[in-house]
Amino acid sequence: MPELEPQRIVRLEDDAVVVLDQRRLPGEEVELRCTTSAEVAEAIRVLAVRGAPAIGIAAAYGIALAAGRGEDLDVACETLAASRPTAVNLRWALEAMRDDPTRERAAWIHADEVERCRRMGAHAVELFPPAARVLTHCNAGGLATGGYGTALGAVRAAFEAGRVAHVWVDETRPLLQGARLTAWELEQLAIPHAVIADGAAASFMARGEVDLVVTGADRIAGNGDTANKIGTYGLAVLAAHHAVPLVVVAPTSTLDPTAETAAEIPIEERDPAEVTERFAARNPAFDVTPSSLVTAIVTERGIHRAPYAETLPREAATAR
């Protein structure tokens, strides 16, 4: 099965952080070169690189780049941290780089995140019923994680184990991360799939055509409340109504030990022009799924079930 190589997604060269510009996929594969930490922050802000683990990796490379250029690292950290407020991986990576802002530390963070994804996929396989018809939302594959994927990595592992028959791909409005990015990754992996409108998920569940919903997360509170791409909460409500399990797959770097519940998770509001350029609009980038609607949370440490306040690790991942 073809591999979306980690260095193809994001890498650090001598004078730049280079990202595969996700805004241009699937139409064309274009690399964006960021020669300062401020340019890395802008690439994160405009979603040229996106996905909680991936923006943490890009930020780590941005700090290594800044250190090599002699930039003020406090300013670089503040600029990068402000680029997207909801995903906790971003601040986690910046903290991991604070005492050792080297290329070697950043490369280790990247490699470690990819390895976490592989372990999560291996744990998650047992949650997939035979010949599963899976529905997923947004993009939580290699593009979003720097390699392999969280939710999509679990789908990949289960497919390789012969447990996935088909994947329904929510288009994920307004920026179509599912229709553009997840479908592109599944096509490369030769996993059977079809894109559906976000509003079609209910009818597919009602017809009994969905066996499992699998998503990633951008931040997980101590009680298991999860923040993920807008629309995830609606899917969780639908899944509960139709008795379809909902599984969240995310690394421990996504856990926020400072947030006891979702009430403490900041929700990013993006430019209304992403929704409509003519009329007034609201554009929250994320919503929160209460832990009561989550069947299981999978991290690289295993499968966690309610009560999540007791079963989730009480500390986030640490960078050696």
Catalytic residue positions, numbered: 218
Take residue 43 and report the two structure tokens written for it: 């690439």
DSSP sequence for the chain: -----HHHHEEE-SS-EEEE-TTSTTT---EEEE-SHHHHHHHHHTTSS-SHHHHHHHHHHHHHHHHHHT--HHHHHHHHHTT-SS-HHHHHHHHHHHT---HHHHHHHHHHHHHHHHHHHHHHGGGSPTTEEEEE-S--BHHHHTSSBSHHHHHHHHHHTT-EEEEEEE--TTTTHIIIIIHHHHHHHT--EEEE-GGGHHHHHHTT--SEEEE--SEE-TTS-EEEETTHHHHHHHHHHTT--EEEE--GGGB-TT-SSGGGS---B--GGGT-SSS----BSEEEE-GGG-SEEEETTEEE-SSHHHHS-SS-----
Of 32, 162, 100, the C-alpha closest to 319 is: 100
Take residue 22 and report the two structure tokens written for it: 């996700």
First to last CA, the chain: 31
Q: How open is the CA angle 238-180-239, to the nearest 5 degrees?
A: 10
CA–CA separation, 255 and 230 (whole Å): 19
Q: Is the dihedral of CA 57, 62, 63, 65 positive or negative?
A: positive
